Structure 1
Amino acid sequence: MLLRVRALGPGGPPRHRSDWKAASSFFDWASVQEGYSHGSRAYNEMLDILGRMKQIKLMRQLFDGIPHEPSAPIVNEKTFAVLVNRYAAAHKVADAIKVFYKRREYGLDLDLSAFQKLLTALCRSGRSSPVIRSRNIILNGWCVLGSLREAKRFWNDIVTSDCKPDLYTYGIFINSLAKAGKLGTAVKLFTAMWARGCSPDVAICNCIIDALCFKKRIPEALEVFREMDGRGCLPDAATYNTLLKHLCGIGRTWRRPARSSAAMVSRMRSAGCEPDADTYNLLLNLYVRWGDRRGVASIWSEMEDRGLGPRPAFLHRRHPRAPRAGQTRRGPAGLRRNEVRG
C-alpha cells in the first residue's frame, strides 16, 4: 500500500508528481479495506504529499484524524518532522510552533533535538526573520531550554538583521542572562536600552533589581530603583517586595533598618502601590529578624485589619504558638515570648 501511495504522490514518477488527489483517494480507499489499517509510514507519507502540494488544510485534517492509542502509537518523531517542515515551507510559522508543542500530547518530549529541527525548518523557510514576534518565540525557546550559547547566537542574528529587537526581545534575553549568572552582560544590555530609546518596562527593571540584590550589589539596585521614577517607569508592588526581600538579609548592616523599611513602605503608598500579602509577610519577617517588637505588633495588627495572615511557614517554623490572623490581638505578645525563648 505504501509503495502505491508513493508512486501516486510527489515523490513518484514525473507524470504523477502533482497527482496528489489520486494518492489521497487511494489512501482513503485503502483505509476502509477489511483487515488493513494505515500505520505510521503510510500516514507520514500522505502528510508529506499533502504538505508538498500546499494542501495545508487537508494535511491538518488528516493529522487530526490519526487514531491516538498510547498502547500502539502511530504518531512518531517522523510525523512531527514532516509537519514542522511542511508548515515552515508554507510560511505558516505560528502553525509550525503550535504543532511543535503538540508533541507533549503524544508522549514526546520538547527536547533540544526537536527544537533544533523546528529552528532549522523556520530558518530554512526564510520567512521568520521579518517577524519579530516569531523571533521572540524562538529566542524564548532557546532560553527555556537553557541553551545560552544558542540564545546569544540567535540574539546576534536579530540585532544584525533588518528586524530590530523590541521590548519583549530585550526582556527575554536580559532575563535569560540574569538567570545564567551573566549579570554584567545583562546590566550592559539594560543600560543600552535607555541609550537606544527603547525604555525598559517595570518587568525588566524588576529583573535587574532582583539580580543585583542577589549579588549583594544593593547600591546599584537602589540606583536603578531611583532612576525608574525619573524615566517614567513607575515601580510596582513587585519592585518594592524585591527590595524588601533582599533587605531582610542585610538588615544588620543598616544604621536604622526599621526606619528605612518604613520609609520605603511610605514611599510605596505615596506612589499609589498598596502593600500586598507578600509585602506584609516580608515586613513581618524583617521586623522579627531585627527584634523590633513594636514593628511586629504594628504589622500584625494591620494584617488582621486587612484580613491577611502570616504564611504557614512563618507560624510553624519560626513561631509555632503565634495566633492566626483574625483570632486575637495578642499575637505580638506571643511572638515576643517565642523570641525570648529562642
Structure 2
Amino acid sequence: MQKKTETTETTETVTDGSLLLKKSLDKSLRPLSFQEFPGQKAVKKKLEVFVQAAKSRKQTLDHVLLSGPPGLGKTTLAHIIANALGSRLVSTSGPALSKKGDLAGILTNLKKGDTLFIDEVHRLSKDVEEYLYSAMEDFFIEIFTGEGLSTKSVQFPLAPFTLIVATTRVGLLKAPFRNRFGIIERLVFYEKEELMQILERSAQLLNIYLNKEGALEIASRSRGTPRIANRLLRRVCDYAEVKQIKQIDKKLANFALNELGIDTLGLDFMDRKILLWIRDKFKGGPVGIESLAAVLNEEVDTLEEVYEPFLIQEGFLQKTARGRVLTEKAALHLK
C-alpha cells in the first residue's frame, strides 16, 4: 500500500455507530496515488508526466492551478502530487490567509521541496495574492521592518517549493496570478462508470457489500461528483443497518435515495426548488442571479459554485447575458 506523505493537515474522524461498517469510518477514502484515482484520465496522465519529469531533473514541480466544481478531487490530487514527489504537504485555505503576515509565516517555514496547498484560493485578498508573486517566481518575499519614515524593506529568501492551489471560481483570479502557474488543469464531472469504481473501492475500504446494480443506482444520482457518491453510500448504509440488510442492491439503494429526496437524475430538494422558482416566479426566465438568490434566501456564491454547474451541465438551466433560463428538459422533468 502506498505510503502517505507527511502533511500538516489534520483529519476528521467519522463516528457512525453502524454494525454494517466493520471497519471504522475514520479510515480515509482518499486515494493516495495516481493509480488509485479513478476518472480525470487526461488530467491525471499529464500530471504523472510532469511529476516524473520534475523528479528526473531533480527540480521542484512547476506551480499547479486546479479548478472545477466542488467535490471532484482537487484536494485529493494535491495530496497525490505531494505523495508522488515524496514531498511534505502543507495545507491552508484562502479564508485562513487574511493578512500578508499569515502567508509569510507559512512561506518562511517551508523546507526545500515542500508542497504548499491553498484551497479556495479565489478568496485570497488582493494584497495577499500579490504577495505570492515574488514567492512563486523568485522564491523570496519582502519583509518590512521599522515604522513610519524608518520603515525598511528586506528580501527574505525562501526554500524552493511547489504551490498547488484549488478553486471553484478560476475567473476571479487575476491574470498576473494565473499566469504564474506552469500547470493549469480543470477537473470535469465524472461518468457513471467512474463513480461506480469509486463506490466499489469505498465499499471495500469500509467492508460494505455493494453489488454492481446498487453501485449503478447510487452513481446515477451522484451528480457526477465523487464526494456526493461517497456521502450517499454512507446514507444508504444507514438504511441497510436499520433494516438489517447485509447487501446494498438496486432495490435498497432506490428506496433509500427516494427517502432522501434525490430523484433518478440526481436532483435534490434545492435543485428542484431553484428550477420551480424560475418556472413559477419568473415565468421560466431570464432571471438575474442576485434576484434568484434573494427569493431562495441563499448566497450567490453557493448557487454559482454548488448548484449551477450541475444544472447547466445536465441541460436543466441555461446561463445567458440576461440571466438564467429554464430549459425544455427542466420543464419536462418538473411535470
* Structure with bigger RCO (C-alpha 8 Å, 6+ apart): 2
Higher strand share: 2
The answer to whether the superposition gives a TM-score over 0.5 is no
Higher helix share: 1
Task: Give the TM-score of the pair, scaled to structure 2.
Answer: 0.22
Task: Give the TM-score of the pair, scaled to structure 1.
Answer: 0.22
* Higher alpha-carbon Rg: 1
